[in-house]
């Protein structure tokens, strides 16, 4: 997959005060300990006793092993755990995870989607997503797609004194202006945004003590990019990839979509990262792009054209439309195909695309950047 990217941040807001956060080494919650052998080829997860899922079944070794095993074959998450060889039950509350090679940062992976443990009744159940069963402080109550997700207090939660709230309701407010107005009016108590204008406005309010802002500043941030399918035309030919790369003014993209707040990216790490290197990504050169477009058309006798899959959110649409215009300026025809996120992800994972928008690289663990071949 080739790509054209922008570094991207997110901000989470709630009313009152301000807080600064610091990332620390992974620390287990449902587990008492996660330990490895000397060469990191085998890990033991020791679970807390007495913890139950919301349906009354135990959070034990059988349940955790079933979850991890399911991830090894899942379309979406299997690549994230590709170092895992076998998962076995070593005791009522002990899970042994053996690797095919040393994996010293396995606990980092458990802080991501991989570490969420669902009740065994959900595994393999096609309808499970509509009535999720976990073990956390809030119990699923109601989900109305496109409108809200409601939860109530888990009276049997294992952590004494928690949760503090009787219920939490997540409202779906896809329009970013509606979302910020609801925040301003006190109709909601928290929101997430990646809209640059809102981030700048609420950052000022946070400085005045009117809201509390959580950010990913000073950490590895996600990257918004257009991935190119190099196994299909036109991007199976490097001429097409180079032509598009030279046609893109990344600074104009971030100015149009993010008001210049998020800088252009030339790799998975931002310049302040200790992992950053200059990857030598081609810069904006429309004349060079036109030469390559002409070379491609002479070679194939057809116009250089492709379809880019995007999600229909304002900032991503602005990126797509700006890319479309820049490409048109050098003779490349881009068609934008807007679709819901789930469809876009499935198409990306199955290779059913020519170009696709995607967001990745928010975690700095280097060994997860390597495609592993058994």
Write the pLDDT tens digit of every residue in 153-177.
999 999 999 999 999 999 999 888 8
Share of the chain above pLDDT 70, in %: 88
Share of the chain above pLDDT 90, in %: 60
> Residue 351 burial (CB < 10 Å; 0-12/13-18/19+)?
exposed
Nearest to 202 by CA among 224, 175, 173, 181: 181
- 142 falls within a domain: no
Residues 7 and 94 in one domain: no
Among the candidates 74, 97, 126, a domain finishes at: 126
What is the domain range of residue 331? 2-12+220-369
pTM recorded for the entire structure:
0.68
Per-residue pLDDT, 47: 97
Q: Considering only 18-27, 120-129, 130-139, which range has the smallest mean pLDDT?
A: 18-27
**Count of CB atoms situated within 10 Å of the CB of 56:** 9
Cα–Cα–Cα angle for 158, 164, 170, nearest 5°?
100
Residues 8 and 92 in one domain: no
Nearest to 114 by CA among 138, 84, 94: 84
- 46 falls within a domain: yes
Residues 8 and 113 in one domain: no
Task: Give CA–CA dist 221/361, Å, rounded.
Answer: 7
42 pLDDT band (50/70/90 cuts)? very high
Residues 118 and 234 in one domain: no
- 173 falls within a domain: no
Tell me: pLDDT of 269 over 80: no
Residues 226 and 357 in one domain: yes
- How far does the chain reach from its first CA to its final CA, in angstroms? 21
Q: What is the mean pLDDT of the chain?
A: 86
219 pLDDT band (50/70/90 cuts)? low
Q: Considering only 19-23, 116-120, 233-237, 297-301, which range has the smallest mean pLDDT?
A: 19-23
- State the total domains in the chain: 2
């Amino acid at each position: 997959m080739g790509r054209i990217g922008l570094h991207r941040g997110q901000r989470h807001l709630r009313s009152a005060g301000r807080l600064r956060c610091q990332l620390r080494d992974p620390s287990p919650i449902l587990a008492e300990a996660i330990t490895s052998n000397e060469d990191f080829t085998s890990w033991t997860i020791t679970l807390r006793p007495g913890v139950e899922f919301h349906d009354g079944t135990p959070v034990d070794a059988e349940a955790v092993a079933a979850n991890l095993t399911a991830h090894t074959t899942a379309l979406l998450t299997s690549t994230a755990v590709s170092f895992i060889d076998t998962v076995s039950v070593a005791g009522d509350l002990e899970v042994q995870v053996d690797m095919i090679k040393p994996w010293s940062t396995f606990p980092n992976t458990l802080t991501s989607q991989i570490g969420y443990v669902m009740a065994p009744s959900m595994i393999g159940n096609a309808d499970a997503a509509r009535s999720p069963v976990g073990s956390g402080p809030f119990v699923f109550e109601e989900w109305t797609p496109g409108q809200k997700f409601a939860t109530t207090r888990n009276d049997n939660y294992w952590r004494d004194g928690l949760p503090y709230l009787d219920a939490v309701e997540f409202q779906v407010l896809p329009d970013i202006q509606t979302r910020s107005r609801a925040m301003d009016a006190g109709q909601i108590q928290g929101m997430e945004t990646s809209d640059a204008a809102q981030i700048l406005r609420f950052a000022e309010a946070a400085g005045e003590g009117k809201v509390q802002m959580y950010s990913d500043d000073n950490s590895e941030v996600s990257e918004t990019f257009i991935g190119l399918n190099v196994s299909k035309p036109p991007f199976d030919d490097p001429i097409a990839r180079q032509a598009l790369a030279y046609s893109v003014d990344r600074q104009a993209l971030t100015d149009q979509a993010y008001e210049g707040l998020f800088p252009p990216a030339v790799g998975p790490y931002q310049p302040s990262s200790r992992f950053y290197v200059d990857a030598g990504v081609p810069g904006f050169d429309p004349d060079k792009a036109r030469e390559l477009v002409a070379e491609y058309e002479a070679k194939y006798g057809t116009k250089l054209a492709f379809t880019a899959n995007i999600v229909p959110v304002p900032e991503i649409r602005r990126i797509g439309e700006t890319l479309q215009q820049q490409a048109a300026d050098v003779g490349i025809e881009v068609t934008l195909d807007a679709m819901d996120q789930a469809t876009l992800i499935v198409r990306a994972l199955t290779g059913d695309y020519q170009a696709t928008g995607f967001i990745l690289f928010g975690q700095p663990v280097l060994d997860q950047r390597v495609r592993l071949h058994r």
